[in-house]
Amino acid sequence: MLATYLWSRGIVWTGNALTAVALPLMLFQLTGSAALAGLLTALEAVPYLVLGLPVGALADRWSPRSTLLASSAASALAAVSIPIAALVADVTPVHLMIVAVATSVSFVFFDAASFGAIPAIVGRDGIASATARMMTISTLVGIAGPPLGGLVSAIAGGPVVLLIDALTYALGAVLLARIEVLDMTPAPNRPRRHIRADIVEGLRYIRSVPVIRDLTVLGVGNSLAAGAVSGLLIVAAVRTLGLDSDSPSIGVLFGAGAVGALAASWLVGPLQKRVGAGMITIGALLLAAAATCGWALSTSFLAGCIALCLWQVGTTAVSLNGIITRQTLTPSHLQGRVNTTARMIAWGGQPFGAGAAGLLAQGIGVTPALLIAAGVSLVTAIAASFLPVARAAPHSSPAS
């Protein structure tokens, strides 16, 4: 069952990796605006910020398989609207942003259901291993996908990339439909309450567990800086490194970041057993700060690739560290709402970081905007050293 689930995710991630390059590239080619490039990244993060609380509570009530399939279908329809528009009319910046929002809304539902899916498939003892395998597949796809996305965009155009993405959503859904263990309603013996009560229960659990609470709060600083770097990646590649906006080399930059994410997926699990979640977060934030400075000051393509790789090691380690910790410590009936709520809070900084960075880049330049983002990571690391999570023991017992 895990193999089928991983195949499903890998296929969809392949399409997503292509689109991650094609969508902002199409927008920048249409508008040439750094502010709109930042706005696109911000819009992609807003749905999680707005919907994370209620969707997490709903996911704990619904069948995971039904939620996963419905959200996959919605994403496929949104993606295929771009090639259809390209055939019958013109693709507009507004249309691109609507698609970004629509697929992001679907992702909130999919993500909430997947938090309960992994424990159901592998059991609680297998969460860390399964999550690491998923991250490995995701980042391997991320290494090959962005360069391929840049190449396909340059040769065939962005609409073709979105068509491929729609097809991967459909194929992924077919595989998910075969996993019978996901076709159940969680905790059927629990009394049905108002959704507000479920949301409050999730929030209280996050607040009551110091490690989860601190990692969630620190995730806000990480996402602020990450949103800035992600939102300005293409803009920096064009204006600082001098690449053409349709150059396949832009995809290579995305791929370099994916190599860093792969390294983080291999490192976090073993490090949690040796140094604990708090020290991982502090070290990763310091690495992200240094690497962001390197990216901001890069004048060569190779230096830019190295900086983005190291930056992604840091920012991914912060995120993955929080995910594994929450899934391991959270009771089964709270998985959906606790994880989506924590991720909503932790990712809450991303749209603000992306939007602010876009405006700063328009006003004072790309390099100063990125240096400010590096400062955010540094300040977050310093703050982490004063929180209880910094002294958390390497080993924690899973919840039942």
CATH number of residue 139's parent domain: 1.20.1250.20
Res 231: pLDDT: 86
Q: What is the pLDDT of residues 64-92, one digit of tens each?
A: 888 889 999 999 999 999 999 999 988 99
- Give me the pLDDT at residue 185, please: 55
Predicted local distance difference test score (pLDDT) of residue 192:
62
| pLDDT recorded at residue 330 | 83
- Domain containing residue 128: 2-182+195-391
Does the residue 87 lie in any domain?
A: yes
Cβ neighbours for 126, distance < 8 A, ≥ 6 positions apart: 2
CA pair distance 387, 220, nearest whole angstrom: 15
Residues 6+ apart with CB under 8 A from 158: 22, 23, 25, 26, 82, 91
CA–CA separation, 114 and 313 (whole Å)? 23
Would 39 be classed as within a structural domain? yes
| pLDDT, tens digit, 9 for 90 and up, residues 176-225 | 888 877 665 555 555 566 788 888 888 899 999 989 999 999 999 999 99
Tell me which residue of 311, 303, 306 sits closest to 377, measured CA to CA. Answer: 311
Cα gap 105→74, rounded to integer Å = 9
Question: What does the mean pLDDT of the chain come to?
Answer: 85
Give domain status of residue 397, yes or no. Answer: no
Instruction: At 217, list the tokens.
Output: 């709060």
Report the number of distinct structural domains present in the chain: 1
CA distance 211 to 194: 28
Residue stretches of the chain with pLDDT short of 50: 396-400
pLDDT at residue number 276: 83
| Nearest CA among 80, 54, 92 for reference residue 166 | 80
Does 190 map to a domain? Answer: no
For residue 398, what pLDDT is reported?
Answer: 43
Name the packing angle between helices 249-274 and 277-297 (round to 10°): 160
N- to C-terminal Cα distance for the chain? 22
In a domain, 71, yes or no: yes
Specify if 302 maps to a domain: yes
Nearest to 263 by CA among 144, 132, 149, 380: 132
